Structure 1
């Protein structure tokens, strides 16, 4: 089942909790909401390049917070897989599952590779309306740089 026109993707974090679309603030938390959020798409949570990128996501999130910008990591992997990754690496940044409907969030911002069924290795900066302000994309097998998200 794929979301229909105007229907938001259904996202769950690594703990199985629902998140709204765009994922600025979790549905279960009334804390401060960033004005914009980087959506950092992973083609596969346990691939070598993705694992290398995950080593700097908490640092990036901390550097973005003073500017009112959030960071969410999204992958088509299940919430259970993302929980294992977060626990293995000690990640505090929310990891969101775009598992079902498969790739709906990546598709919503034009980042789903329809051939592979995985998102491109990309990051997309959006606001609460889903307006795209910036994109960072790396070729397959190449890492994005933390610094590219700070400009």
Structure 2
């Protein structure tokens, strides 16, 4: 399996796992396609959730097989806050998604699943849509993170 080589929307490389210094964990929110209706709808609540989670030392990384310039356009159009980091899993194509068994080899896209990882890259919990083809929810991510990490006050 190829080592993931993620780049942000400016083309800057990110280490694996993409958990920044000072974070105790990070959500890897896999999007099948940046401009699809369900994915665009999820981005509307992912930005505010990223800001909320940052206060709890939990990062949020939106991971897509789209190229970095596409993700930059998405960020520009949606006005996402800096806390909501968009990462391209473009090459080796889908390596981050494949690491978690989420790359659909037929379509070349990741499945709509979120994975919470710790600083070593160990999977702590997953969030899937409530119905096939449907969106995930901010509340499901909050509950799952609280269950896996507890709440800091």
Q: Following superposition of structure 1 onto structure 2, how do residues 76-87 of structure 1 map, counting pairs within 5 Å?
A: 76-87=65-76
1:96 aligns with 2:87: yes
Q: How far is 1:140 from its partner?
A: 4.4
- Answer 1 or 2: which has greater helix percent: 2
> What stretches of structure 2 of length at least 5 have no aligned partner?
144-153
Give the paired residue count: 140
Q: What's the Cα RMSD here?
A: 1.3
TM-score (norm 1): 0.88
Residue among 126, 144, 147 paired with 2:136:
144
**2:111 matched to which residue of 1?**
120
> What stretches of structure 1 of length at least 5 have no aligned partner?
26-31
1:54-113 C-alpha deviation (Å, 9 max, x unpaired): 011111112212222110000000000000000011112110000010000001122112
3-state SS of the aligned residue for 1:126? strand
Which consecutive aligned stretches of 4+ in structure 1 deviate over 3 angstroms post-superposition?
none
Q: Following superposition of structure 1 onto structure 2, how do residues 22-61 of structure 1 map, counting pairs within 5 Å?
A: 22-25=17-20, 32-61=21-50
